[in-house]
């Protein structure tokens, strides 16, 4: 198939370009960034690091919010793999307009352009952040979805969410795709809005739409430490600078770290998926083998021979405690299972080049 990858020069997008190319697709990349070594933009090539041994990839340089750029990029395309987005937790509410503009408006412009060009397949980069807090079981009340943790609890070192009905301690459980969404920050709200818009587009056009809810993606070319970076990049950057990773809360919060090459393979699987036309199908993209933030910090520090992580007890109000997914639906419908194990993945990431 002929695929357009938006955000093609980014961390995940560049791996998706490679994986689609290796699977035999003809790839066009769209990105804001002009490749460092070639400023001619149109029909230029992705940076060498983005496509080892893949041959040439057509790159259109421009903004996903510009209809004319999209019309050009979509010429002859059968499938769009939409990775372009403003990511991360951001700094504060001053970021809201940018998140809404790039993620929500940008996706709306893209979907309208796809309808104009008759492109009937979409793979959307979504996120586990649409769930908000993970799933929990209360001994008394069964499956519950606790609201945000209070400042008082966090400041007092009470990190585990409580049962919203009786206040009792809870056991963390795995979350599946049919859990009701509960976005807790601007980024999460825009990812959910993207899913809704994609579902609207699918219904209106009869198109096929797959949303991949990425869990904590890490691996080579991950962006360095910024207010928009995930925790793996923050720890990796700290260690590189000779500083100890600062582990918030008590370090026992759990996440599912999934390697970027597995995420790229999930996109390849989604590109050929036979899901129901006219509907959006959502899938967790996760390893199914969660680890604590403390374990992740320890693994990276050990690979780099220190310094040892420090558990600081700090907290961020917008953070959720545990978010652990079941990857079974993607295995069943897409034939996708993550292959890179935590130990080998972190060993590579400890010294891999960052973006
Ligand atoms: C992350 C991403 C989110 C993405 C999701 C799935 C960010 C900021 N968050 O969400 O955009 O959709 O993965 O891929 O990019 N922590 C520390 N020390 C630090 C920073 C964070 O201990 O210096 C802890 C946090 O308190 C939290 C955990 O690490 O408990 C994860 O943090 P982070 O990676 O920022 O956010 P996620 O919620 O996992």
Average pLDDT of 294-304? 97
Please give the number of the atom of ligand 1 that sits closest to the Cα of 314.
26
Residue 260, CB half-sphere, CA atoms under 13 Å: how many?
Answer: 26
Please give the number of the atom of ligand 1 that sits closest to the Cα of 89.
8
Average pLDDT of 2-21? 96
Q: Is the pLDDT of residue 55 over 80?
A: no
How many Å lie between the centroid of ligand 1 and the Cα of residue 223? 13
**pLDDT band for position 39 (cuts 50, 70, 90):** very low
Q: Is the pLDDT of residue 36 over 90?
A: no
Q: Is the pLDDT of residue 53 over 60?
A: no
Q: Which pLDDT does position 46 carry in this prediction?
A: 46
Contact 137, 143 (CB under 8 A): yes
Average pLDDT of 14-25? 96
Average pLDDT of 306-324? 93
CA angle (276 as vertex; 325, 83 as ends), nearest 5: 55
Output the residue whose Cα is nearest ligand 1's atom 29: 231
Q: Is the pLDDT of residue 91 over 60?
A: yes
Average pLDDT of 47-58? 51
Q: Which pLDDT does position 303 carry in this prediction?
A: 96
**pLDDT band for position 88 (cuts 50, 70, 90):** confident
Contact 15, 22 (CB under 8 A): no
With a pLDDT cut of 70, the percent of the chain lying above it is 92
CA distances (Å), origin 316, targets 50, 56, 74, 91, 275 = 34, 43, 41, 12, 38
Dist. CA 177–CA 175, nearest whole Å? 7
Average pLDDT of 274-297? 97
pLDDT tens per residue, range 102-115 = 999 999 999 999 99
Residues with CB under 6 A from ligand 1: 87-89, 127-129, 187, 214-217, 229-231, 234, 246-249, 253, 255, 293, 316, 319
Q: Which pLDDT does position 37 carry in this prediction?
A: 36
Q: Is the pLDDT of residue 38 over 90?
A: no
Output the residue whose Cα is nearest ligand 1's atom 27: 319
How many Å lie between the centroid of ligand 1 and the Cα of residue 240? 19
Token pair belonging to 92: 């504060």
Residue of 106, 104, 100, 118 lying closest to 32 (CA atoms): 106
Question: Which residue from 12, 231, 234, 251 has its CB within 8 A of the most atoms of ligand 1, so it is best to mutate?
Answer: 231
Contact 350, 304 (CB under 8 A): yes
More confident residue, 37 or 47: 47
Dist. CA 293–CA 286, nearest whole Å? 16
Average pLDDT of 235-252? 96
Token pair belonging to 187: 């980024």
More confident residue, 53 or 171: 171
pLDDT tens per residue, range 177-223 = 999 999 988 899 999 999 999 999 999 999 999 999 999 999 999 98
Segment among 92-96, 124-128, 150-154, 285-289 with least mean pLDDT: 92-96
How many Å lie between the centroid of ligand 1 and the Cα of residue 231? 5
**pLDDT band for position 229 (cuts 50, 70, 90):** confident
How many Å lie between the centroid of ligand 1 and the Cα of residue 146? 19
Q: Is the pLDDT of residue 258 over 70?
A: yes
> Considering the chain, what is the average pLDDT of its residues?
91
Average pLDDT of 91-98? 85
Dist. CA 340–CA 260, nearest whole Å? 9
How many Å lie between the centroid of ligand 1 and the Cα of residue 205? 36
Please give the number of the atom of ligand 1 that sits closest to the Cα of 253.
30
Q: Is the pLDDT of residue 50 over 80?
A: no
Token pair belonging to 276: 């129901």
């Amino acid at each position: 198939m002929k695929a357009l990858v938006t955000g093609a020069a980014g961390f995940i997008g560049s791996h998706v370009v490679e994986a689609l190319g290796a699977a035999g697709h003809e790839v066009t990349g769209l990105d804001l960034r002009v490749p460092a070594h070639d400023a001619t933009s149109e029909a230029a090539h992705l940076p060498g690091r983005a496509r080892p041994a893949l041959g040439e990839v057509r790159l259109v340089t421009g903004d996903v919010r510009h209809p004319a750029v999209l019309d050009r990029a979509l010429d002859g395309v059968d499938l769009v793999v939409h990775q372009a987005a403003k990511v991360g937790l951001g700094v504060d509410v001053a970021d809201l307009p940018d998140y809404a503009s790039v993620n929500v408006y940008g996706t709306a412009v893209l979907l309208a352009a796809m309808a104009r060009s008759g492109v009937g397949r979409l793979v959307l980069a979504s996120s586990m952040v649409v769930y908000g807090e993970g799933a929990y079981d209360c001994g008394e009340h069964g499956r519950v979805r606790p609201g945000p943790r209070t400042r008082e609890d966090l400041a007092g070192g009470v990190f585990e969410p409580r049962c919203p009905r009786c206040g009792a301690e809870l056991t963390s459980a795995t979350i599946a795709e049919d859990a009701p969404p509960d976005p807790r920050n601007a980024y999460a709200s825009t990812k959910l809005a993207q899913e809704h818009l994609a579902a609207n587009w699918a219904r209106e056009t009869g198109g096929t739409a797959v949303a991949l809810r990425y869990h904590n993606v890490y691996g080579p070319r991950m962006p360095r430490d910024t207010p928009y970076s995930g925790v793996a990049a923050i720890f990796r950057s700290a260690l590189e600078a000779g500083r100890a990773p600062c582990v918030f809360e008590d370090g026992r919060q759990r996440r599912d770290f999934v390697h970027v090459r597995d995420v790229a393979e999930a996109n390849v699987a989604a590109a050929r998926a036979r899901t129901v036309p006219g509907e959006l199908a959502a899938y967790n993209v996760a390893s199914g083998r969660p680890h604590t933030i403390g374990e992740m910090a320890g693994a990276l520090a050990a690979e780099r021979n220190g310094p040892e992580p420090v558990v600081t007890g700090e907290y961020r109000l917008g953070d959720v405690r545990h978010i652990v997914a079941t990857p079974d639906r993607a295995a069943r419908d897409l034939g996708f299972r993550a292959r890179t194990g935590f130990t080998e993945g972190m060993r590579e990431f400890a010294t891999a080049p960052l973006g």
